[in-house]
Amino acid sequence: MTASAENGLAAIINYLLFIMISPFVKYLLFIGLKFLKFTMIWPITKAVSIGPTKKCPPIRNQMLMLSGSSLAHKIRTKQVTCVEVVTAYINRIREVNQSLNAVVEDRFQEAVKEAQAVDSLLASNTKSEDIIASETPFLGVPVTVKESISVQGMSNNAARSNVSEHRADEDADVVRLMRKAGFIILCVTNTPELCLCWETFNNKTGRTNNPYNLKRSPGGSSGGEAALLGAGASVIGMPSDIGGSARLPAMYTGGFGHKPTPGYVSNRGHVPTATDTHWNNFFTLGPMCRFAEDLPPLLSCIIDDPLKVKELKLHEPVDLKKVRVFYAEDEGPNSITSDKMCTEMRGAMRRAIHHLKVKYGIEAKKVHIKGLEDSLELSAMIMLRMKGIPNVFQKSENTPDEWNSVTLEILKRITCLSSATLPSILYAPAKCVADRVSDDYYKTMLLRKRDIMDQFQELLGNTGVFLYPTFPYPAQYHYQIFYNLMNTSYLAIYNVLEMPVTACPLGLNHEGLPMGIQVVGWQGQDRLTMAVSQALEKEFGGWIPPPE
């Protein structure tokens, strides 16, 4: 491909991206995706769905039904041995992974040895229970980690097609802190290539399935973590989130996923990372779990600075009767890109609102945040403008902004000669669009962002939460996300707004699939979103095992 041809293609893309700014063209794009849905993708996925629903084997070991905090208490008080707990989870992973395909690499032998060391320490009686609880609050509790987060000696490649293999030389900061808190790591879990999709599949490990229906997606990019959690094969997981990567999988599989306020949890040790100064504003690592009571202590464990833990007041109780609640059921009347919540999801949110009123006397207020209707545009344009993000086009591993021919790689993909996955290929055209919009337009986007943040700060302050859809529907069949991409704006906008969010389950729908919402707070108010999630867990059951 000659330079002039490349420039010509760039000019065409530039023009197309320019006209896409208009609401009319965005509406046409929305119609186009719907056309794609009903003429191509939907018939294929519907055909695949024909036949009996496939699910995971039922949970037989009741030890798997306990929270991480409860397990830690039972281990340090010698009600159960650490080896028993770790072995139970190893056996469950082995039982379900043949159906889920969630594990990239395990460290079961090392985990058993570490569990034996914990039991030896407890048998020595050299430390009191109180000291153990203070120094290592999750002593002996098994945990799983997303493969893109480095665990020393383990695979840490994020399924990159242009890098054959990469093993972590050292632990990521969050992994180091989890070990310090007493966690025992069992395995690293599957993710799409470069974490660039809301569906978890790649050309190295393959596709991960949803434990509530193996024909459905567990979401992405933390789908491996979510699949194990939903199946009861993990109690606590460590995902990452830059566009809902922890929250969508959590909702799809019935668990809790928390995106912390940026700046509290270190992102060091994640693949991919970026050199852009805004990366750590939008990208976060945070806890995913089956039981809401684990959220505050887990978040405390993975924050290295005690002063920052104190700032978040994670150990202080929340008086729910003093929490103000606001909500919205969609992006607003002027949104032309996203779908509305399906009937069952909307009903679940309304039952949650009713429960908060009856139980705590909270009169939730429906509000419209001006500008949320532009969530898709804001999220895409602002985050895609970041520089230094690893991709499949870069010339070398250390030069993410120096690319090989995009056109050639796309042609290779069309002719089935490329090993890269489609979402990682599509990053380039999207990046080209964002980079080619004018600086004035980009500044306008930043001003809109600031306006929305100001509205939220004034509305929520230090005492309010905002209930909002996670996604319009429960778990979709595999690959249906491709005609539902615009609905991910419900998630990605809060990465751009730099606000803490907890994905909270709200029971199962008529097909036995998890439903849920997002509980959003203003910056630094993570404890409020977690507290409201804990309150809703008591009413709706929180994580509910996949129906037999």
257 phi, psi to nearest 5 deg: -130, 130
Specify the pLDDT at position 107: 98
Sequence-ordered list of residues with C-beta below 8 angstroms from that of 540, at least 6 positions apart, any chain: 348, 351, 352, 355, 505, 506, 507
In a domain, 119, yes or no: yes
In the numeric block, the tokens 């470069």 are attached to 194
Q: Which domain holds residue 471?
A: 81-311+320-377+443-540
Residue tagged active-site, from 221, 234, 300, 335? 221
CA–CA dist 71, 22 (Å, integer): 54
Domain annotation covers residue 68: no
CB-CB contact of 215 with 88 (8 Å): no
Q: What is the pLDDT of residue 29?
A: 62
Token duo for residue 196: 């660039």
3-state class (DSSP) for residue 468 = strand
Instruction: For residue 348, give the CATH number of its domain.
Output: 3.90.1300.10
The whole-number pLDDT of residue 12 equals 47
Cα(371)–Cα(460) distance, integer angstroms = 16
Burial 516-534 (b: 16+ CB within 10 A, else e): bbbbbbbbbbbbbbbbbbb
Predicted local confidence at residue 6, as pLDDT:
47
Q: What is the CA radius of gyration of the chain?
A: 23
Q: Apex CA 111: angle with CA 108 and CA 112, to 5°?
A: 90
Judge whether 63 lies within some domain.
no
Instruction: Answer whether 234's CB lies under 8 Å from 203's CB.
Output: no
Q: What is the dihedral of CA 243, 245, 246, 251, to 10 degrees?
A: 100
Annotated active-site residue 245? The verdict is yes
The residues, ordered by sequence, that sit 6+ positions from 305 with a Cβ below 8 Å of its Cβ are none
Number of domains in the chain: 1
353 dihedral zone (left: phi>0; alpha: psi -120 to 50; beta): alpha
Domain contains 127 = yes
Backbone angles phi, psi at 17, to 5 degrees: -70, -35
Type of residue numbered 25: V
- Per the CB < 8 A criterion, the answer to whether 239 and 288 are in contact is yes
Helix, strand and coil content of the chain, in percent to the nearest 5, comes to 45, 15, 40
Q: Is residue 110 part of a domain?
A: yes
Q: What is the dihedral of CA 253, 254, 260, 261, to 10 degrees?
A: 110
- Could you tell me if 214 and 223 are in contact, meaning their C-beta atoms sit under 8 angstroms apart? no
Mode of pairing for the β-strands spanning 201-202 and 206-207: antiparallel
Sequence-ordered list of residues with C-beta below 8 angstroms from that of 30, at least 6 positions apart, any chain: 336, 337, 486
3-state DSSP call for residue 141? coil
Of the residues 26, 55, 74, 146, only one is catalytic, namely 146
Does 411 fall in a domain?
no
| Number of other residues whose CB lies within 10 A of the CB of residue 38 | 10
Ranges of beta strands (E only) in 280-356 are: 284-285, 288-289, 324-327
Does 387 reside within a domain? no
Structure tokens at 137: 């609050």
Structure tokens belonging to residue 309: 């833990």
Query: pLDDT at position 415, please?
Result: 86
SS3 of residue 186 by DSSP: strand
pLDDT value at position 417? Answer: 82
Residues 428 and 418: their CA atoms lie apart, in Å, by 15
pLDDT of residue 14: 46
Question: How many other CB atoms are found less than 10 A from the CB of residue 112?
Answer: 17
Q: How far is CA 68 from CA 63, 78, 322, in A?
A: 10, 15, 28
| Domain annotation covers residue 54 | no
Cis peptide leading into residue 472 (ω within 30°): no
- Other residues' Cβ atoms within 10 Å of the Cβ of residue 42: 15
CA nearest to 65, candidates 92, 43, 45, 44: 92
Conformation bin of residue 140: beta by default, left when phi > 0, alpha when psi is -120 to 50: left
- Give, for all 548 residues of the chain, the pLDDT tens digit: 444 444 454 444 444 444 444 555 556 666 666 666 666 666 776 676 677 777 789 999 999 999 999 999 999 999 999 999 999 999 999 999 999 999 999 999 999 999 999 999 999 999 999 999 999 999 999 999 999 999 999 999 999 999 999 999 999 999 999 999 999 999 999 999 999 999 999 999 999 999 999 999 999 999 999 999 999 999 999 999 999 999 999 999 999 999 999 999 999 999 999 999 999 999 999 999 999 999 999 999 999 999 999 999 999 999 999 999 999 999 988 788 899 999 999 999 999 999 999 999 999 999 999 999 999 989 999 999 999 999 999 988 888 999 988 888 888 888 888 889 999 998 988 888 888 888 898 999 999 999 999 999 999 999 999 999 999 999 999 999 988 999 999 999 999 999 999 999 999 999 999 999 999 999 999 999 999 999 999 999 999 999 88
Q: Which among 69, 222, 234, 245 is annotated as catalytic?
A: 245
**Tens of pLDDT along 425-441?**
989 888 888 888 888 98
